[in-house]
Structure 1
Amino acid sequence: MSSLASQFGQSFSNHPLRMGFLRWQCRVRQMAMRDKDGRPDDAIMPEVFLPGQDEPLGAIITVMSKTPGYSVTPELEHMSAKTNDPAQRREQAIRFLAAGYYQQAAEFSDILTATFPPGSPGAAQIHEAGRCTLVFEAYAQRFELDCKVWRLAPHNLLHQATMAHNRLFNPGIPGDTVVLGFEPDWENCTSDPKIA
């Protein structure tokens, strides 16, 4: 794992668990858009465990972005700019994301992101730890992802995609929002039931 992977929005692992996780994430995110009006649930909100801790720091809402070759960041930004009505923007976003957006798992980066308020002590704690375990548990499936943590700069493609996505649901998100990237080390990740 290198900063190169976080710059380009994808790791270069061909571990079978990687694709299994991405397929599961696409399925549960599409369900959230179609059946829950876009509201995140446990399948999208993992608990964060810092190294050596038995209790989670808390849960975070993760964003899954497409790799640069499939990026729709300009489309998401256009959707945000098109209307000042938050309800209309949200409705357009849900329609767009519920349609074909999550159809092809191979188009997505395995580096998940999450936003935190400017100056967030939690974000600082996670970033300082350098690693964490994200535990997803929903729909009779559990994933424990051992991740390297990156603080993404505004010019980073994943930072831009994350902010564009979140502005659709929260137009007032501050420009200096902290965006962390979570890059799984697939050799040290697990699933239950096992996915191969």
Structure 2
Amino acid sequence: MSSLATQFGQTFSDHPLRKAFMKWQCRVRQMAMRESEGRPDDAIMPAVLLTGQAEPLGHVITVMNKAPGYSVTPELLHMAAKTNDPAQIRDQAIRFLSSAYYQRAEEFSDILTATFPPGSPGAAQIHESGECRLLFDAYAQRFDLTCKVWRLAPHNLLHQATMAHNGLFNPQMPPDTVVLGFEPDWGRSSADPEIR
């Protein structure tokens, strides 16, 4: 895996596990938007396991971003700029994200992202490890993804998309928020029940 994938936001893998995971993520994220007003659950908040660690470091809230060819980052930024009322912004975001946003799994990057406070020791530890496992376990489905970890620069398209998305739900997010990217190695990842 190369950093080129993180620049383009896509690994271009046609691995069956990738396809199954992306479809599942779209379904559970749409459910979260429609039924839980966007509140993340275990399907969106995997446990993070670092190499050599038996216990998870903790859970992170992941963002699934559109691939650059399908990006809606300008629309998300416009939504946030239209009003100063956080409740209005959140309502608009939930309406937008619960409609057709998650309908087509193939429009999304398989590089998940997560935000951390500036200077976060947890983010530093995850990034320094270079690799981690993300354990998703919800709705009778488990995915164990082995991921390369990237610290995304502000000019990276996935960094920009993540900040725009999370800014809708947290308008007070500092501009120097740390954004990590998690690039799955589909050949070293697994699902239970197995994907056929």
Which range, TM-score by smaller chain?
over 0.9
SS at match of 2:113: strand
Q: Distance in 2 between matches of 1:195 and 1:24?
A: 11
Q: Distance in 1 between matches of 2:168 and 2:195?
A: 33
Alignment partner of 1:62 is 2:62: yes
> Which residue identity is paired with 2:41?
D
TM-score (norm 1): 0.99
Identical amino acids, percent of aligned pairs: 77
Q: Give 1:135's aligned residue.
A: 135
Q: Distance in 2 between matches of 1:141 and 1:82?
A: 39
Q: Give 1:45's aligned residue.
A: 45
> Which residue identity is paired with 1:26?
C
Q: Give 2:33's aligned residue.
A: 33
> Which residue identity is paired with 2:88?
Q
Once the two structures are TM-superposed, the CA of residue 189 in structure 1 deviates from its matched residue by: 0.4
TM-score (norm 2): 0.99
> Which residue identity is paired with 2:18?
R
**CA deviations over 1:79-108 (Å, ceiling 9, x no partner):** 000010000000000000000000000000
SS at match of 1:100: coil
Give the number of equivalent residue pairs.
Answer: 196
Q: Give 1:185's aligned residue.
A: 185
Once the two structures are TM-superposed, the CA of residue 14 in structure 1 deviates from its matched residue by: 1.1
Q: Distance in 2 between matches of 1:151 and 1:158?
A: 11
What's the RMSD between the two structures over aligned residues? 0.4
Q: Give 2:83's aligned residue.
A: 83
Q: Distance in 1 between matches of 2:12 and 2:35?
A: 33
Q: Distance in 2 between matches of 1:169 and 1:90?
A: 6
Q: Give 1:13's aligned residue.
A: 13
SS at match of 1:172: coil
> Which residue identity is paired with 2:19?
M
SS at match of 2:100: helix
> Which residue identity is paired with 1:51?
T
Q: Give 1:109's aligned residue.
A: 109
Once the two structures are TM-superposed, the CA of residue 34 in structure 1 deviates from its matched residue by: 0.1
**CA deviations over 1:101-129 (Å, ceiling 9, x no partner):** 00000000000000000000000000000
Residue segments in structure 2 that go unaligned for 5+ positions in a row: none
SS at match of 1:132: strand
